[in-house]
């Protein structure tokens, strides 16, 4: 199951971006004391009490406005509301309840979604009396907060996560493999989605950028449940002209974060371009399982060495994805499309694999005997103990005498030994070194 989504909405200049930055722990949103600075929806990831969630910051909503930018901002906020599991409405204690607040509250009530009302700029306890007017919005208890000082956010977040899907609901989906299909526009992602599903579910057009949003399609094959996500094509940042396309890219990024396995689609006819490497990098950095799928393979004039040469080119251009299997397919003729899901199953299994601690430590001991760690200025690295900290992706912690003695090349050697022993095909493997305490 994907992470819950929280949308932050409110009229301009009530402090939404300050709250957003507090929740995601980074200054992603520009904060300025003038309305309308945040025109886009911004995505970030927040955490409260070990519960992770996506946060969307929206442009301020103003009603009755004909200004094109304000209309766009309202449209984007509506899209964010549509996507969200929980909505935080921010109001401003200094201005009190305005007509725009009342209008927005009516709009939010109509969605039927849980809304948490936060009254911002309550910077000291004496100001708390000013929040009672906000009961008139009909959104339940107003939570006094101060974005600039970080006050009251804990109570607000307690209420927010109370409305998330429960663990029981999430557990039902644990045997589902989430697969997202990513790539630049017009590499044939939608055609590939339809070929895998065996039916025309997604609009297919020769016009690049037909798919605006990430489209989730649940289906079942051979007793295994999947959710297939066809994402919008990702363009270079400079080419993201239209607002709607910018949000499509953000949603594609979120689809990657929520996936178990990502199919990175390349256009066999056109070869590899710089943008392909950037897009594949997103999946690698997010720690997802990755399969490289070369589409439109039917359109190439081939000899007996074409596939070997193309594979060598991929390995050269995508050095950081040396663990990713490569499939050559044609969505148009259905050539080798049947090989995709069995490979997805293998990669998803590797991505979620847990190695017993005793077996892992035996392996590390053997590896260090075969190739002892290098010494630095007379000090030699000693690996005392290893444990697997997490899965998706498999993450290992090595407890050592001095983390600074762990050279990149030796860490790579250990990773290769782990990969050889446990066949972590298609998944990144992360290794952290910690000082033995």
> Is 372 annotated in some ligand binding site?
no
The CA distance from 428 to 289, in Å, is 7
Residues 286 and 319 in one domain: yes
> Is 189 annotated in some ligand binding site?
yes
Residues 129 and 39 in one domain: yes
Residues 29 and 164 in one domain: yes
> Is 268 annotated in some ligand binding site?
no
Task: Supply the DSSP string of 388-406, one letter for each residue.
Answer: EEETTTTEEEEEES-GGG-
Going by C-alpha positions, the residue among 133, 114, 136 that lies closest to residue 144 is 133
> Nearest 5 degrees, angle CA 308-CA 309-CA 312?
85
Q: Looking at residue 279, what is its pLDDT?
A: 82
Inter-residue contact 337 to 331 (CB < 8 Å): yes
Range of the domain at 99: 5-168
> Is 15 annotated in some ligand binding site?
yes
The CA distance from 302 to 320, in Å, is 27
Q: Looking at residue 80, what is its pLDDT?
A: 67
Residues 364 and 322 in one domain: no
Q: Looking at residue 249, what is its pLDDT?
A: 58
> Is 186 annotated in some ligand binding site?
yes
> Is 183 annotated in some ligand binding site?
yes
The CA distance from 231 to 248, in Å, is 8
> Is 243 annotated in some ligand binding site?
no
Question: How many CB atoms within 10 Å of residue 111?
Answer: 13
> Is 402 annotated in some ligand binding site?
no
Residues 314 and 401 in one domain: no
> Is 267 annotated in some ligand binding site?
no
Sheet with 395-400, side-by-side order of all strands: 383-390, 395-400, 430-435
CATH of the domain at 398: 3.30.300.20
Q: Looking at residue 359, what is its pLDDT?
A: 96
The CA distance from 296 to 206, in Å, is 13
Q: Spell out the alpha helix ranges (H) of 149-242.
A: 153-162, 167-172, 189-197
CATH of the domain at 65: 3.40.50.300
Residues 93 and 212 in one domain: no
Judge if the upstream peptide bond of residue 389 is cis by omega within 30 degrees of 0: no
Q: Which residues contact 331 (CB under 8 A, 6 or more apart)?
A: 188, 191, 192, 194, 195, 295, 296, 337
Going by C-alpha positions, the residue among 254, 308, 341, 307 that lies closest to residue 2 is 254
Looking at 351, 375, 402, the residue that finishes a domain is 351
Residues 149 and 18 in one domain: yes
> Is 262 annotated in some ligand binding site?
no
> Is 232 annotated in some ligand binding site?
yes
Residues 57 and 25 in one domain: yes
- Total domains in the fold of the chain: 3
> Is 17 annotated in some ligand binding site?
yes
> Is 16 annotated in some ligand binding site?
yes
Q: Looking at residue 241, what is its pLDDT?
A: 40
> Is 59 annotated in some ligand binding site?
yes
Residues 73 and 156 in one domain: yes
Whole-prediction pTM: 0.65
> Is 57 annotated in some ligand binding site?
yes
Q: Looking at residue 62, what is its pLDDT?
A: 60
> Is 305 annotated in some ligand binding site?
no
Paired residues of 55 in beta bridges? 6, 44
Answer positive or negative: Cα dihedral of 372, 377, 378, 382.
negative
> Is 121 annotated in some ligand binding site?
yes
Q: How many CA atoms lie within 13 A of 336 on its CB side?
A: 12
Residues 188 and 311 in one domain: yes
> Is 401 annotated in some ligand binding site?
no
Residues 278 and 185 in one domain: yes
Looking at 351, 370, 393, the residue that finishes a domain is 351
String of b and e for 383-420 (b: at least 16 CB within 10 Å)?
A: beebebeeeebbbbbbbbeeeebbeeebeebbbebbbe
> Is 60 annotated in some ligand binding site?
yes
> Is 209 annotated in some ligand binding site?
no
> Is 185 annotated in some ligand binding site?
yes
> Is 234 annotated in some ligand binding site?
yes
> Is 348 annotated in some ligand binding site?
no
Looking at 311, 332, 351, the residue that finishes a domain is 351
What is the distance of C-alpha 90 from the center of its chain? 25
Residues 163 and 145 in one domain: yes
Per the listing, tokens 């300025």 go with 32
> Is 256 annotated in some ligand binding site?
no
Q: Looking at residue 171, what is its pLDDT?
A: 41
> Is 81 annotated in some ligand binding site?
no
> Is 12 annotated in some ligand binding site?
yes
Environment class of residue 108 by beta-carbon count within 10 Å: exposed (0-12), middle (13-18) or buried (19+)? buried
pLDDT per residue, tens digit, the chain (437 aa), is: 467 889 898 888 888 888 988 888 754 443 444 433 333 446 677 889 888 888 887 765 665 655 665 565 566 567 667 778 999 999 999 999 998 899 889 888 888 899 999 999 998 877 777 788 999 999 999 999 998 888 999 999 999 999 987 654 444 456 899 999 988 887 888 889 889 988 655 444 444 444 444 567 788 888 899 988 877 555 554 444 444 444 555 666 777 888 899 999 999 888 888 888 888 888 898 899 999 999 999 888 888 899 999 999 999 999 999 999 999 999 999 999 999 999 999 999 999 999 999 999 999 999 999 999 888 778 889 999 999 999 999 999 999 998 888 888 999 999 999 999 998 999 999 999 998 76
> Is 230 annotated in some ligand binding site?
yes
> Is 138 annotated in some ligand binding site?
no
């Amino acid at each position: 199951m994907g992470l819950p989504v929280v949308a932050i909405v409110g009229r301009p200049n009530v402090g939404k971006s300050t709250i957003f930055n507090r929740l995601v722990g980074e200054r992603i949103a520009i904060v300025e004391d003038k309305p309308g600075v945040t025109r886009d929806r911004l995505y970030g990831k927040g955490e409260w009490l070990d519960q992770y969630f996506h946060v969307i910051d929206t442009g301020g909503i103003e009603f009755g406005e004909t200004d094109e930018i304000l209309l766009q901002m309202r449209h984007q906020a509506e899209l964010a509301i549509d996507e969200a599991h929980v909505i935080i409405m921010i109001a401003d204690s200094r201005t009190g309840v305005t007509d725009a607040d009342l209008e927005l509250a009516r709009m939010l009530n109509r969605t039927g979604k849980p809304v948490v009302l936060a009254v911002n700029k309550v910077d000291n306890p004496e100001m708390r009396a000013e929040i009672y007017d906000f009961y008139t919005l009909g959104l339940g208890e107003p939570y006094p907060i101060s974005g600039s000082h970080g006050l009251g956010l804990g109570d607000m977040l307690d209420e927010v996560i109370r409305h998330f899907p429960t663990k029981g609901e999430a557990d039902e989906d644990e045997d589902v493999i989430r697969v997202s299909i990513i790539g630049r526009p017009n590499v044939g992602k939608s055609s590939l989605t339809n070929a895998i599903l065996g039916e025309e579910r997604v609009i297919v057009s020769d016009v690049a950028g037909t798919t605006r949003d990430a489209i989730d399609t649940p289906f079942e094959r051979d007793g295994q449940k999947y959710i297939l996500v066809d994402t919008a094509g990702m363009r270079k940042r400079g080419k993201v002209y239209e607002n709607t396309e910018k949000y499509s890219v953000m949603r594609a990024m979120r689809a990657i974060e929520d996936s178990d396995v990502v199919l990175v689609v390349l256009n066999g006819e056109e070869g590899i371009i710089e943008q392909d490497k950037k897009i594949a990098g997103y999946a690698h950095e997010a720690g997802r399982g990755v399969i490289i799928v070369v589409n439109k393979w039917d359109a190439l004039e081939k000899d007996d060495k074409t596939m070997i040469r193309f594979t060598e080119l991929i390995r050269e251009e995508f050095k950081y994805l040396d663990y990713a299997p490569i499939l050559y397919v044609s969505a148009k003729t259905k050539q080798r499309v049947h090989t995709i899901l069995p490979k997805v199953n293998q990669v998803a299994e590797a991505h979620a694999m847990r190695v017993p601690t005793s077996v892992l430590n035996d392996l590390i001991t053997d590896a260090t005997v075969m190739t002892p760690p290098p010494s630095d200025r007379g000090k030699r690295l000693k690996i005392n103990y290893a444990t697997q900290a997490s899965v998706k992706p498999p993450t290992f912690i090595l407890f050592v005498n001095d983390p600074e003695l762990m050279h990149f090349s030796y860490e790579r050697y250990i990773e290769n030994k782990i990969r050889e022993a446990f066949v972590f095909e298609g998944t990144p493997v992360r290794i952290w070194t910690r000082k033995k305490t």
